[in-house]
Amino acid sequence: MDLNFSPEEIAFRDEVRAFIEQNYPKHLKGKVLREDLSKEDFLAWHKILGKKGWSAPAWPKEYGGTGWTATQRYIWLEENARAETIPPLPFGVSMVGPVIYTFGTPEQKQRFLPGILSGEVWWCQGYSEPGAGSDLASLKTRAVREGDHYIVNGQKTWTTLGQHADWGFFLCRTDPNAKQQEGISFLLIDMKSPGVTVRPIKLLDGGYEVNDVFLDNVKVPVDQRIYEENKGWTCAKFLLAHERAGIAGVARSKRNVERLKAIAKAETGDDGKPLIEDDLFQRKLGELEIDLASLEMTELRVLAREQAGKGPGPESSLLKVKGTEIQQRLTELTLEAVGNYAQPFPRGLGSNEFAVGPDYAGAAAPVYFNWRKASIYGGSNEIQRNIIAKMVLGL
Partner 1 sequence: MNFDYTEEQNAIRDSLSKWAAQQYDFDKRRAALASEDAWKQNWATFAELGLLAAPLPEEFGGLGGGAIDVSVVAEEFGKALIVEPYIPTVVLGAGALKYAGSAAQKDEHLNAIAGGERIIAFAQAEPKSRWALNDVSTTAKKDGAGYVLNGQKAVVLGAPQADHLLVSARTAGGQRDAKGISLFLVAKNAKGVSTRDYPTIDGTRASEVYFENVSVGADALVGGADGALPLIERIVDEANAAYCSEAVGCMRMMTDLTREYAKTRKQFGRAIAEFQVLQHRMVDMFMASEESYSMALRATIKLGESEQERAKAVSAAKVSIGKLSRFVGQAAVQIHGGMGVTDEMRVGHYFKRVTMIDATFGNVDYHLRRYIALGGEARAA
Ligand X SMILES: Cc1cc2nc3c(=O)[nH]c(=O)nc-3n(C[C@H](O)[C@H](O)[C@H](O)COP(=O)(O)OP(=O)(O)OC[C@H]3O[C@@H](n4cnc5c(N)ncnc54)[C@H](O)[C@@H]3O)c2cc1C
**Is 16 strand, coil or helix?**
helix
CB of 2 to partner 1, least distance (A): 40
Pick the binder of partner 1 from 265, 311, 343, 390 (CB under 8 A). 343
Binding mask 364-383 toward ligand X (x if CB under 6 A, else -) reads: ---------x--xx-xx-xx
CA–CA dist 55, 93 (Å, integer): 8
CB of 119 to ligand X, least distance (A): 18
For residue 133, state whether it binds ligand X (rule: CB under 6 A). yes
CA distances from 236 to 49, 96, 242, 303 (A): 27, 10, 10, 21
Contact (Cβ atoms closer than 8 angstroms) between residue 306 and residue 300: no
Q: Which is nearer to partner 1, 138 or 307 (CB)?
A: 138
Q: Which is nearer to partner 1, 8 or 135 (CB)?
A: 135
Stretch that binds partner 1, among 168-176, 239-247, 288-296, 342-350 (CB under 8 A): 342-350
CA distances from 153 to 127, 139, 185 (A): 14, 12, 13
Contact (Cβ atoms closer than 8 angstroms) between residue 84 and residue 233: no
The distance in angstroms from the start CA to the end CA of the chain is 33
CA–CA dist 328, 256 (Å, integer): 11
Q: Which is nearer to ligand X, 100 or 361 (CB)?
A: 100
**Nearest partner of 187 among 238, 152, 214, 154, judged by Cα:** 152
For residue 73, state whether it binds partner 1 (rule: CB under 8 A). no
For residue 233, state whether it binds ligand X (rule: CB under 6 A). no
Please enumerate in sequence order all residues whose Cβ is within 8 A of that of 137, keeping only pairs 6 or more positions apart, or say none: 180, 181, 184, 233
For residue 24, state whether it binds partner 1 (rule: CB under 8 A). no
Q: Which is nearer to partner 1, 1 or 349 (CB)?
A: 349
Q: Of 243, 296, 299, 336, which residue is the catalytic one?
A: 243
Residues 147-176 close enough to bind ligand X by CB under 6 A: 158-160
CA–CA dist 384, 390 (Å, integer): 10
Instruction: Look up 62 and say whether it is catalytic.
Output: no
| 293-299: Cβ within 8 A, 24+ apart | 294/322, 295/248, 295/250, 295/253, 295/319, 295/322, 295/323, 295/326, 296/250, 296/254, 298/322, 299/248, 299/250, 299/323
Pick the binder of partner 1 from 65, 126, 269, 312 (CB under 8 A). 269
Pick the binder of partner 1 from 153, 181, 298, 375 (CB under 8 A). 375
Cβ burial of 59 (10 Å; 0-12, 13-18, 19+) is buried
Pick the binder of ligand X from 6, 134, 197, 268 (CB under 6 A). 134
Q: Which is nearer to partner 1, 231 or 373 (CB)?
A: 373
What is the number of other CB atoms lying within 10 angstroms of the CB of residue 238?
Answer: 19
CB of 213 to partner 1, least distance (A): 14
CA–CA dist 101, 227 (Å, integer): 11
For residue 204, state whether it binds partner 1 (rule: CB under 8 A). yes
For residue 342, state whether it binds ligand X (rule: CB under 6 A). no
CA–CA dist 375, 356 (Å, integer): 30
For residue 83, state whether it binds partner 1 (rule: CB under 8 A). no
Pick the binder of partner 1 from 268, 307, 390, 392 (CB under 8 A). 268
Pick the binder of partner 1 from 147, 194, 348, 394 (CB under 8 A). 348
For residue 64, state whether it binds ligand X (rule: CB under 6 A). no
For residue 19, state whether it binds partner 1 (rule: CB under 8 A). no
Q: Binding residues for partner 1, per CB under 8 A?
A: 128, 131, 133-135, 138, 157-158, 201-206, 210, 267-272, 278, 280-281, 332, 335-336, 339-346, 348-349, 354, 356-357, 365-366, 368-370, 372-373, 375-377, 380-382, 385
Q: Binding residues for ligand X, per CB under 6 A?
A: 125-128, 133-134, 158-160, 210, 373, 376-377, 379-380, 382-383, 386
Q: Which residues are catalytic?
A: 243
